Amino acid sequence: MSKLWQKNNKVEGVVEKFTIGNDQAMDQYLAAYDVLGSIAHTTMLSEVGLLTAAELDQLKKALIEIYRSIEAGQFKLEPGVEDIHSQVEILLTAQLGDIGKKIHSARSRNDQVLVDIKLFLRAELIQLSASVQDLFTLLQAKSELHKNDLLPGYTHLQLAMPSSFGLWLGAYAESLVDDMTLLQSAYTIVNKNPLGSAAGYGSSFPINRTRTTELLGFETLNYNVVYAQMGRGKAERITAMALANLADTLSKLSMDACLFMNQNFGFIHFPENLTTGSSIMPHKKNPDVFELIRSYCNRIKALPNEIMMMTTNLPSGYHRDLQLLKEHLFPAFGQLRNCIEMASLMIENMEVKKDLLADPKYQYLFSVEEVNKLVNAGMPFRDAYQKIGKDIEAGQFSYTTDIKHTHEGSIGNLCTSQIAAQMKSVQAKMATEKVQHCLDQLLK
């Protein structure tokens, strides 16, 4: 394999195979972003006098052609080419000769891969936030639809107090607000430009890093060039934590659905075409979708720890260890979006059992309600608690299923609009329209 950085010594084949590993496959995720970074970089090089206007014109046209081929799914790394950065430069040199060799001035593969990853993570976070918003809207709609349908509430998996399907679904909607807050925080950290830090120590060329920041739609710079390199691993870890928190919400929702679908619960029902059967038990309707969501998401929850361990005790500067961070993180975005889509499909088609709590086996869910009635009538709480406890032990407990909860966030007051306002506020901080506008301008 020939390398742009190679001088005279040939690298041993087994060393080459080991060090490259799975990086070529991972570079397919970064291809479009590498081209965007090169367009911004060459534009800036022209503006500071390191490329002529004519050279920039030829380079930009050729880079946009490569970008379009990537978007059309027609681009791949050729056999023997080490990485995406080399492939782009080789294509440009083959088409433009010496002009193509000029694009690497004032940058290193270190800051190329840094900016590629930042652009990739930013784009994926934008896509993921849109998927989260869709699921959030669905959960809120279903929460309002079923706000009067009561559901047993549990602590320690024992009957506790009355809940409702509206309260249950609304809880997961609000959980997504906090998940979105972490996604937005990761987005803020990712949305900083490292390009121009070169190998991590800057450059003697008179480059304009503020200009590439503007061209690529970044909010600001990673100013210190050493920190720009130190941010490799940190940005991935913070992003992975945001993904893990979202995955945790989906995993818990999936576990609830598996329990509630169980015949011993019998709270929810799904159409047969959304469940699977057994090879020998004709009665089975298995919640395979939720089980797989649970497992995918639990695997994603391990990502922050994996990245933390891979970056443990690394000093400042670039290290090849960082190459491996991509292998599980990059595919996780698509897996998580797929889980959200499947969870949405199931929730959209979920049927709930009406009048669940009319069954006498749920009578003790209402013990606290009866205690509170006595307290409202003037009895001290501890005395009311003792009385209802003795009634239960004596088999004399009586109750009604009439629930009148009015405080914020309760069965009778879900605060759906207030939670929606929180989500809207978080989403607004991502300013994704600015990013798209800048990239559209870059590709003109």
CATH of the domain at 94: 1.10.275.10
Both 312 and 428 in a single domain? yes
pLDDT value at 47 more than 60:
yes
Q: Residue 2 falls within a domain, yes or no?
A: no
Domain that holds residue 396: 359-413
Q: Alpha-carbon distance 16 to 11, whole Å?
A: 6
What is the pTM assigned to this prediction?
A: 0.92
Percent above pLDDT 90 for the chain:
82
Looking up tokens 């069954």 gives: 359
Provide the CA 380 distance to its chain's centre, in angstroms: 49
Using the predicted structure, report yes or no on whether residue 27 has a pLDDT greater than 70.
Answer: yes
Alpha carbon distance 256, 265 (integer Å):
11
Q: How large is the average pLDDT for residues 310-337? A: 91
> Do both 263 and 385 map to the same domain?
no
Q: Is residue 210 part of a domain?
A: no
Percent of the chain with pLDDT over 70: 97
- Is the backbone of residue 272 left (phi > 0), alpha (psi -120 to 50) or beta? alpha
pLDDT at residue 11 greater than cutoff 70 = no
What is the pLDDT confidence band of residue 3, given thresholds at 50, 70 and 90?
low
Find tokens 């307290």 and name the residue: 375
Domain co-membership, 383 together with 422: no
pLDDT of residue 259: 96
Tell me, yes or no, whether 381 and 298 share the same domain: no
Q: Average pLDDT over the chain, rounded to whole? A: 93
Q: 78 and 170: one domain?
A: no
Average pLDDT of span 39-61: 97
Give whole-number Cα distances, 299 to 46, 254, 296, 324, in Å.
46, 14, 5, 17
| Average pLDDT, integer, range 287-310 | 95
Encoded tokens for 205: 């060329």
Is the pLDDT at 435 greater than 60? The verdict is yes
Q: What is the pLDDT of residue 275?
A: 83
Task: Name the residue among 410, 435, 434 with its Cα closest to residue 143.
Answer: 410
Please tell me whether residues 303 and 351 are part of one structural domain: yes
Pairing outcome for strands 351-352 and 268-269: antiparallel
Model pLDDT, residue 281: 80
Tell whether 60 and 122 lie within a shared domain.
no
Number of independent structural domains in the chain: 3
Is 113 a residue whose pLDDT tops 80? yes
Chain segment 391-414, per-residue pLDDT in tens:
999 999 999 999 889 999 999 999
